[in-house]
Every structure is written in C-alpha cells, then in structure tokens.
Structure 1
C-alpha cells in the first residue's frame, strides 16, 4: 500500500486541495503569523518543511513563519487525519494587498486523501467529505480561539470563493461548502447542506 505521508511520492501532492481557507481580516504579517501558528498547532501538523522532493528526515525544518511562506511559497508537513492515517499537508498564504484581506489555506492534497482511503467525491459535481469538513471545522474553531479571523470556509479548493464582507454576518441558506462565521456569541459553524 502506498504511503499518504511520503513527501517524495509526488502523487500524494497531486489533484488539488481539500482545505480550510481562512480570511485573516488583515494584511499585517503579525495577523497572518498568528493564524498560521494557531492552525498548524490546532491541526497537530508535524514538521514544517520547504520541499516535497525529499522526506522530512532528509531536510532541515524551516520555521513555521510568514517569512518561510514568502521564501518557499508553501509550508509542508504531516498530519493525522480523522481515521488515524498520517498524510501530507500544507499551508499557503494568499496575500491580498492594501485593500483586501490576506488568506491562509491549510490543506490536505487529494492524492494523499486517495491513498488514506478517505472518500471526498460521490459523483456529484463537487467534492465533499463530512469527515474532513467536521475535522477542519474543529481545527478552525481551535484556531479562532487563539487567533480570531474574519471568515473560514471548508471544502474543495474554496479559498476566495466568498468573503466576510459579502456574507455580512449571515450564512447562506444553501451551502455547498462549510462556513466558520464569527458572531457575537462566538464562531458559528454552518456545515455544507446541499
């Protein structure tokens, strides 16, 4: 059986990302750093590495920082998925510029999900996994407790599909993805329902 935690196996990194995409609510390095540190910790991600063409034991770790994201584009690690299978994971920042918020995406690639045996597609025109959605909602909730953010969205390649300003504090009635929406009472999880 192939190993979904192997860095060198490039098929683990293929096929796009199932992700928790977080709208940071700021363009300050300190804000995105707080979210990066919190999400990496909340997910229990192991290691922080720059390269996917060598195994973690074959490279020096890099700091889990905005500076490393800027230098290398992505940070890579390994994470224990809900059924207990270790798989590759990563994070990438999408910097918004002066007039928009930054995003931080924490992801598990489809290739690794396939090898871990986690179903995320049932023939509908979109990908969805209740197991991954609930796990990523838990990661997002724990992240929010340490580093509040404007919005979290959960699903297949969801980064930037909406933003906090567009939602204006309200969940859509029909949801093809999961939402983590800050409210006065705390963070509201609106699971995918269509």
Structure 2
C-alpha cells in the first residue's frame, strides 16, 4: 500500500520534522523509478535523428556502449558510454555536463568526469572546421582523467555514427542501467574519488 498525505507548510522554512519525514518516505518510490525515466529518455532519443547525421541519438549511444562492451569495458564505462549524450534533449549546449549529473551519484568519479568533459575533448575532431581551437582540451592536460577522456572519445564516441555497425539493442543494456541506478547514491565505495580506472582490457 502506498503512503499518502501532504505537508503542512506552504514555505519550506515552516516545515516540521514530521513533514520532512513524510516527504522522505514518499520520495523513495519516485527515486526507485529513476532508471525507468532514464530509459524512457533514451527511447525518446530513438525518435529523433541527429540533425544532419545518418543515425538517431539513441543509436549513437547504443553504438558507443556496444563498442565499450566489446572492448571489455566494465559496467560503469558501458553505462557511461550509453548515457554520455542523454542530456542532449534538454541541454544541447551543455549536454555533457547535464549527462554527467544524471550518472554522477551512481558511477565512479572518473567515468562522471569523462562524461562531463567529453564535449570539449570531442571537438578535437571537428573544431578546426569552425575556426575553434581543436586543442582546447589541452587545458586539462594535467588532470588524471585526461587520457581516459581522450581515449573515450577516440574509441567510443567519435567512431559511433555508423548506420552499418552491428549495434546491440537497448534491451541488452537495460539490466545494466538498472543495476547502476540501484546503487546507493554517492556511495564512497562506488565513487572511489581519485581512482582512475582503465577504459577496457
């Protein structure tokens, strides 16, 4: 049976302990549905062809994740590759940071850092065509995740726009998404601040 009820306040500063305990209990089912909302967003991306590209946004994410899995990447990297552009729909100008915030509570810190910065690293491949500095990523040259982000873009992002690639379906990755989002948010044992993992075997 689902608990119901409403708080007594109209301004948060007037809330009581009982109000906030109620909200905490009511929020749990909503939090448990996070992977469903993420998967729904991916499905919506399957309805939108990348402007000017030959594949959908969903296919790009699936192809990136497929390449990561076939390279022997672990769970965090595969889900990071799948969701690295999940923010495109709502935040196209800063989708990399948006996408990173979606996964940050549930994956290693280096995976979240790479997703957060992949946009500037990815511009290495095309920035010069717009008159941009294609080496703008070098401002992060001393960061411990620099090489990981460069490799992520080279192996799994910039290469994943191929309509002929044998891409695994979303159903294949759904259990992985659910496993990651079932973790306790910001668990230090998961986040492993400062640890830099290998992208793949």
- Same structural fold, with TM-score higher than 0.5 when normalized by the shorter chain: no
TM-score (norm 1): 0.26
Relative to total residues, which structure has the larger helix share, 1 or 2?
A: 2
TM-score (norm 2): 0.25
Relative to total residues, which structure has the larger strand share, 1 or 2?
A: 1
Query: Relative contact order, CA 8 A, sep 6+: which one is greater?
Result: 1
Which is greater in Rg? 2
